[in-house]
Chains A and B, each alone.
Chain A
Amino acid sequence: QAVVTQEPSLTVSPGGTVTLTCGSSTGAVTSGHYPYWFQQKPGQAPRTLIYDTSNKHSWTPARFSGSLLGGKAALTLAGAQPEDEADYYCFLSYSGARPWVFGGGTKLTVL
């Protein structure tokens, strides 16, 4: 099974910009992996921020954006707010039957 890698932790200053990345042990991440990004706060169910690389839901704050960057999926937060402090998980699809694999998650601190 493929391994999906994320930074274990990142820190960003309020108002600052940070990019979280998501790599794959099988090679470059492409749009064909349909990258997803989820946000999870303590005691809550995950919430989907980004799907299919860069698509947002109606509840996704405009300061979040998804892209492909240097062979990885990326989630960029521009203008961090204290409420953005959370765990972020990326999620990739593999093969025609579309088994999915989560990354280990990035703990984002806004400080």
Chain B
Amino acid sequence: QVQLVQSGTEVKKPGASVKVSCKASGYTFTGYYMHWVRQAPGQGLEWMGWINPNSGDTNYAQKFQGRVTMTRDTSISTAYMELSTLRSDDTAVYYCARDRGWSSWGQGTLVTVSS
């Protein structure tokens, strides 16, 4: 069965960077775009961007351009989302989700930004 397993909780200081991983299994990793979404505490969902694991092409939401980098390692079927210059309002749960029906989501990774 399709599974997306994300890396664990992160605590970062303002100004630092965080890199969240999303390991895919149960399907052909390069066959589906991977999206990243975040949700701040008590807030709604926010789309951050996608990566095409086959080509490495990316498309980022305007809000995150310049601060987010999405990459992948096809040898281990893993997608990554790195967010830099962290601020306190980047505190959120970060999700990966597989495109085409969005039938599979990762379990979420809590990133806390605090001094």
Question: Looking at chain B, what size class is its interface with the partner chain?
Answer: 20 to 34
**Residues in B neighbouring A91, C-beta threshold 8 A:** 45, 47
The segment from A20-28, A66-74, A101-109 that touches chain B is A101-109
Q: Does A82 contact B (CB under 8 A)?
A: no
Q: Are B101 and A55 in contact (CB under 8 A)?
A: yes
Which residues of chain B are within 8 angstroms of A55 by Cβ–Cβ distance? 101
Give complex CA distance A55, B101 in Å.
Answer: 9
Q: Which residue of B lies closest to A92 (CB)?
A: B47
Q: What residues on A are CB-neighbors of B107 within 8 Å? A: 45
Size of chain A's interface in residues, with CB distance under 8 A? 24
B76 to chain A, nearest CB (A): 22
Does B53 have its Cβ within 8 Å of any Cβ on chain A?
Answer: no
Q: Which of A40, A46, A51, A104 has the most CB of B within 10 A?
A: A46
Residues of A within 8 A of B37 (CB): 46, 102
Tell me the B49-101 residues at the A interface (CB within 8 Å).
50, 59, 61-63, 95, 97, 101
Residue contact B47 to A38, C-beta cutoff 8 Å: no
Q: Which residue of A lies closest to B107 (CB)?
A: A45
Chain B residue at minimum C-beta to C-beta distance from A56 = B101
Scan A74-111; emit 1 where CB is below 8 A from any B CB, else 0: 00000000000001010100000111111111000000
Q: Does the CB pair B108–A45 fall under 8 Å? A: yes
CB atoms of A46 and B45 under 8 A apart? yes
Binding site for A on B (CB under 8 A): 35, 37, 44-47, 50, 59, 61-63, 95, 97, 101-103, 105-108
Interface set of A (CB-CB < 8 Å, partner B): 1, 36, 38, 40, 45-48, 51-52, 55, 57, 87, 89, 91, 97-105
